[in-house]
Amino acid sequence: MLGKTDKSAVGFVVAALVFFFIGGILTTVVPPLVDKSWSKPFENNDPSKGPTGKLVQYTPEQLKGRAIYVREGCWYCHTQQTRTLLSDVKRSGWKGVDSPISTPDEFVYDSPHMFGTKRTGPDLSRVGGKYDTQWHRTHFRNPRDLTPGSVMPPFPWIVDNPEEFTALVAYIQTLGRSKNWRPDNDYEK
């Protein structure tokens, strides 16, 4: 079949599309049909099966904050996935308690997804609840005031806009909170 495709443009087009669609369909359309956890929101009431909790839809304010996160390109430098690596579980942990790994059912309401590809700054998949509003205000105004050596840009136009700042912090505080994993000595508990 392929021997003639260098003479027949029609034969070429058919073969090129068939080759492409075999892999294309098997890796994009089929997986969500096979793995239901991709679309079923996380919910667990049985402690013996791991962390309990329930994934809930974002509030309008949190969605507004999420849109700011997208707009400012936070996702170019911060991933949102605690991978199945020991170091990720430790680094996403808090006050000596390891974080649970990220699972597909925790991200069902995310669009655009914010998994990210690059960690210029730390992963944020479990950052929710770790730092209070005042910390975020100082940090967004100038990250180096709290973390010397940081290369994160300052965001004065967000801090100076109370509506945007409150929304962004509201979104950040949701990250990784669907699973109840946080330590007992956390200031929020």
Name residues contacting other proteins, limited to 64-83 (CB under 8 A).
70-77, 79, 81, 83
Footprint of other proteins on residues 158-187 (CB under 8 A)? none
Q: Is 147 in the site for other proteins (CB under 8 A)?
A: yes
For the bound state, the minimum distance from the C-beta of residue 140 to other proteins, rounded and expressed in Å, comes to: 12
For residues 39 and 185, which CB has a smaller minimum distance to other proteins in the complex? 39
For residues 103 and 138, which CB has a smaller minimum distance to other proteins in the complex? 103
The answer to whether the bond into 156 is cis (omega within 30° of 0) is no
| Residue 54 backbone phi and psi in degrees, to 5 | -150, 135
For residues 2 and 189, which CB has a smaller minimum distance to other proteins in the complex? 2
Of 35-43, 57-65, 162-170, 181-189, the segment contacting other proteins by CB under 8 A is 35-43
In the block, which residue shows the tokens 């700011």?
Answer: 68
Q: Is 157 in the site for other proteins (CB under 8 A)?
A: yes
Footprint of other proteins on residues 4-33 (CB under 8 A)? 5-7, 9, 12-13, 15-17, 19-20, 22-24, 26-28, 31-32
Q: Is 63 in the site for other proteins (CB under 8 A)?
A: no
Q: What distances in angstroms separate CA 151 from CA 7, 26, 48, 55, one per listed residue?
A: 56, 41, 42, 33
116: left (phi over 0), alpha (psi -120 to 50) or beta: left
Q: How many whole angstroms separate alpha carbon 34 and alpha carbon 38? A: 9
81 contacts 100 by C-beta, under 8 angstroms: no
Q: How many whole angstroms separate alpha carbon 9 and alpha carbon 135? A: 63
Footprint of other proteins on residues 82-141 (CB under 8 A)? 83-88, 90-91, 101-104, 106-122
Q: Is 39 in the site for other proteins (CB under 8 A)?
A: yes
Q: Is 49 in the site for other proteins (CB under 8 A)?
A: no
Amino acid at 141: R
Residue 165's SS3 state is helix
